[in-house]
Amino acid sequence: MQRTDILAEFDRHGILPTPQRIEVAGILLEKPQHLSAEQIIDRLRVQGSGVSKATVYNSLKLFGERGLVKECVVDPERLFYDSTTEPHHHFYNLDTGELTDIPLPSIEVTGLPKPPKDFHLDSIEVVIKGRGAPSKDLA
């Protein structure tokens, strides 16, 4: 994604552009992908960036809050940032740590219990965990 595209996305999501946020977004939004904060930090370091770890985490938190990216929690200690924000599900490979998209219509959720009073269902996200060789996205 080009700098002008990133700036347009920031504007669309109400994010104030800073050089550091642009660097983080440049990595995360370069293609549909799932990256952890540590993976983004590693890629920044390879590029010679001096963006601090705290700035990366703060930027990702802001991006998630504003809807620029989607946070995907696969276990209590692992959080990915997904550049695909449309609703979809995931396979999580326990061996490789890879997260793979599953298109929304591929899974049908039925038999949900009646929600509590004043509870409004926003979304359902399924994460299927397993082991095996790395795979390609299904989407």
Do 73 and 93 fall into the same domain? no
| Residue 33 domain-assigned (yes or no) | yes
Each residue's pLDDT tens digit, 37-89: 999 999 999 999 999 999 999 999 999 999 999 998 887 778 899 999 998 99
135 found inside a domain: no
Question: Domain check: are 66 and 51 in the same one?
Answer: yes
Q: Domain of residue 106: give its range.
A: 89-130
When divided into structural domains, the chain yields a total of 2
| Residue range 23-42, pLDDT digits in tens | 999 999 999 999 999 999 99
Residue 138 lies in a domain: no
Task: Give the span between the Cα atoms of 132 and 127, in whole angstroms.
Answer: 15
- Does one domain contain both 21 and 50? yes
pLDDT beyond 50 at 133: yes
**What's the helix, strand, coil split of the chain in %, to 5?**
35, 20, 45
Q: 124 and 96, same structural domain? A: yes
pLDDT digits (tens, 9 = 90+) for 78-131: 889 999 999 899 999 988 888 999 998 899 989 989 888 999 888 888 999 999
| CATH code where residue 44 lies | 1.10.10.10
Angle at 125 between CA 122 and CA 129, to 5 degrees: 165
Parallel/antiparallel/unpaired status of strands 99-102 and 89-93: antiparallel
Has residue 125 been placed in a domain?
A: yes
Least Cα distance to 99 among 64, 126, 61 occurs for 126
48 lies in the same domain as 33: yes
Indicate whether 138 pLDDT > 60: no
Q: Is 19 part of any domain?
A: yes
Indicate if 78 and 95 belong to the same structural domain: no
What stretch of H or E contains 70?
A: strand 70-75
Residues 7 and 62 placed together within one structural domain of the fold? yes
Q: How many angstroms separate the CA atoms of 31 and 112, rounded? A: 34
pTM recorded for the entire structure: 0.76
